[in-house]
Amino acid sequence: MRRCILTIVTAVTASLVWGSALPGATSSRTATDLHTPVCDLSGDQPASKRALCQHELALADQARGDFTSAERRLHEALTSWTKAGVDFRPSYAISLLNLGELYRLEHRYAESEARLREALDVARTVRDAYPQIYPAVLTRLAGLYAESDRAGVARALLNESLPLFRELAKPQGHEHARALATLGLLDIIAAKYKDAESHLLDAIALSSGADGEDTPETAEYQSNLALAYIQDRQMDRAEPLLNRARFVLETKGSSNDIRLAMVYGEIGLMATNRRKFAIAEDAEKRSIAILERQPVPQPSKVAQARVNLAAVYLQARRLDEAEQILPGLVAEERAMAPRSCLLADGLRELADLRALRHSWREATALYAESIAIYGERLGRDNPGIAPLQKAYEEALKHSGKSVPAA
């Protein structure tokens, strides 16, 4: 059950440039693989060339973690695209998309939503000439809503974008794969593991064709599929996928790649299920270290990784070490993400800790709060709530209270 949308959606870690929409860009490139471009920003250059240069420099800045410079350059690109005229509206939409993504990475979610919504409006007006932009923006907006525990809104946007990707005369495998992977992660949240498997296998196939089999993008989707298998208790199917993803990310990515942090987190989950606690502890600590080294560390992801480490200690019955993490962490989560799945995850682990220490009344209250939040966010019929309900009823009995009638 200990899986919330904030935890598992690693989607949208890079920003795209389409050669067809941005004159001078010859291929789809990302903010993670651009070298600093050499270009001319002098005033005698056409506005469109200055805009393209600022856009590409922004992606290079983002790849280095200089988000302040990246934001400034994207604003300058947008100004120049506007000066270049109506023919460059598709490029304007793409720079807006990148700015929305940058804000998401900085956890400026309201600003991210506003920019992505604006990009969607612009993309809608150029759909006839550039039909690939509109479904891509839908997918990125869905990723933002998924991270914000708004699974229903995210799923609706993906259900709109996926048929549009299939209709494109020129397939956009990279973005199509991203949409399928995000849908697969939402399936995991809903405990629809067969649907998740189908969508993630399709994402892996598309990504392999568009990006290559040994790329960080494909490795990311393989780790997402591994998570579906872990949640469905198919550890033997998860293990080779995680080993492959780890190898690719360690050899072809960066030691600070957030996707590698997610892989280590899943290795920790798998090892905990197998009661290999030393491996689990090491993996979760590696995950935390990578997350804390991000240019702009995301508190929610760091908090979830710490919850996962505490869960290892609980399973290993190292209660004093779990005690050092959970009470303070839950207090942080209450302030940072009230009524979120992230808070529910922490509450559940703290409830387990209190139950193991026979503090039954406190455990009962914590279980009840966790169940209520999961019900709000995931739906009361989510099958993952059942074992938590059982733990709650057991704590009630020990505290001397009767179990409420169903």
Q: What is the pLDDT of residues 44-64, one digit of tens each?
A: 789 999 999 999 999 999 888
The contacts found for 375-381 with CB under 8 angstroms, 24 or more apart, are 376/339, 377/4, 377/149, 377/151, 377/339, 377/340, 377/341, 377/344, 378/151, 378/189, 378/190, 378/341, 379/190
Q: What is the mean pLDDT of residues 154-177?
A: 96
pLDDT of residue 37: 62
**Least confident span in 4-13, 137-146, 160-169, 311-320:** 4-13
pLDDT average, residue stretch 191-201: 97
Measured CA to CA, the distance from residue 318 to residue 311 in angstroms comes to 10
CA distance 264 to 283: 5
pLDDT at 7: 42
Q: Which two tokens stand for residue 241?
A: 């996928």
Which of 150, 185, 191 has its CA nearest to residue 386? 191
Task: Output the pLDDT for position 255.
Answer: 86
pTM above 0.85, yes or no: yes
Residue matched to tokens 């990578």: 290
Q: What is the end-to-end Cα distance of the chain in Å, rounded?
A: 22
Whole-angstrom distance, CA of residue 368 vs CA of residue 144: 29
Looking at 74-88, 97-111, 274-288, which range is the least confident one? 97-111
Average pLDDT over residues 147-157: 92
Number of Cβ within a 10 Å radius of residue 25: 19
- Segment 162-179 mean pLDDT: 95
With a cut of 50, say whether residue 220 has pLDDT above it. yes
Higher pLDDT, 274 or 32: 274
Confidence label for 19 from pLDDT (cuts 50, 70 and 90): very low
pLDDT of residue 211: 86
**Could you give the residue ranges of the DSSP H alpha helices within 126-254?**
133-147, 151-167, 173-189, 193-210, 216-231, 235-252
Q: Which among 132, 174, 178 has a CA at the least distance from the CA of 158?
A: 178
Length of the chain, please?
406
Q: Which pLDDT tens digit goes with each residue over 260-272?
A: 999 999 999 999 9
pLDDT at 405: 57
Q: Can you state the percent helix, strand and coil of the chain, rounding each to 5?
A: 70, 0, 25
CA R_g for the chain: 22
Per-residue pLDDT at 41: 72
Q: 43-52, 94-103, 315-324: lowest mean pLDDT where?
A: 43-52
Among residues 257, 174, 184, 246, which one has the least CA distance to residue 211? 174
Over residues 192-204, the mean pLDDT reads 97
Percentage of the residues of the chain whose pLDDT score is greater than 70? 89
- As to burial, measured by CB atoms within 10 angstroms (0-12 exposed, 13-18 middle, 19+ buried), residue 183 is buried
169 vs 132, 133, 166, 338, CA distance in Å? 9, 13, 9, 44
Pick from 334, 344, 351: which is nearest to 390 by CA? Answer: 351
Residue 129 phi/psi, 5-degree rounding, is: -90, -35
Q: Using an 8 Å Cβ cutoff, are 88 and 48 in contact?
A: yes
Mean pLDDT value of segment 157-168? 97
Task: Give the pLDDT of residue 5.
Answer: 41
Structure tokens at 258: 């957030």
- Mean pLDDT score of the chain: 89
For residue 3, pLDDT beyond 60? no
